[in-house]
Amino acid sequence: MRFAAYVGSLNLHSLTPDAFDPFDEGLMRLVTTAACAIIADARKRQHSQEQVHNMEQALVSRAVIEQAKGVLMAVHGCTEQEAFTMLVERSQHQNVKLRDVARTLLSSIKNS
């Protein structure tokens, strides 16, 4: 999932000195303050969406890993920790994420 980045810029130019009076300056401060708040809120929202996505992925991954541990425990008659160690070692050896090792194991069981 990809999220947009929010960036902003406001440039005001004049050909004459003193083109912007104190009222204009105050108005531009108000506009830029509001724009900064909107950009900050958008960044917070983006960060929150990323956090939710990561948590959802973690929950799905955990279920798959737990199932794979159960399979290894049943097949090898080992403890939960030993089964987890087997998954971790395979993950490190193959340089593949743990959840992907677990998915592959579960797929191989289903296809057998």
Instruction: Give me the CATH number covering residue 65.
Output: 1.10.10.10
The region of weakest confidence among 44-48, 73-77, 108-112 is 108-112
Q: Say what the pTM is.
A: 0.57
> Is 16 domain-assigned?
no
Say what the pLDDT of residue 1 is.
43
Say what the pLDDT of residue 7 is.
63
The residue range of the domain holding 59 is: 22-110
Higher pLDDT, 89 or 40: 89
Cα–Cα distance measured from residue 88 to residue 91, given in angstroms and rounded to the nearest whole number: 5
> Is 7 domain-assigned?
no
> Is 44 domain-assigned?
yes
Q: Return mean pLDDT, the chain.
A: 90
> Is 8 domain-assigned?
no
The per-residue pLDDT for range 47-81, each reduced to its tens digit, is 999 999 999 999 989 999 999 999 999 999 999 99
> Is 91 domain-assigned?
yes
> Is 1 domain-assigned?
no
Say what the pLDDT of residue 8 is.
66
Which single residue is written with the structure tokens 């004049």?
14
The per-residue pLDDT for range 1-25, each reduced to its tens digit, is 454 555 667 788 889 888 889 999 8
The total number of structural domains in the chain stands at 1
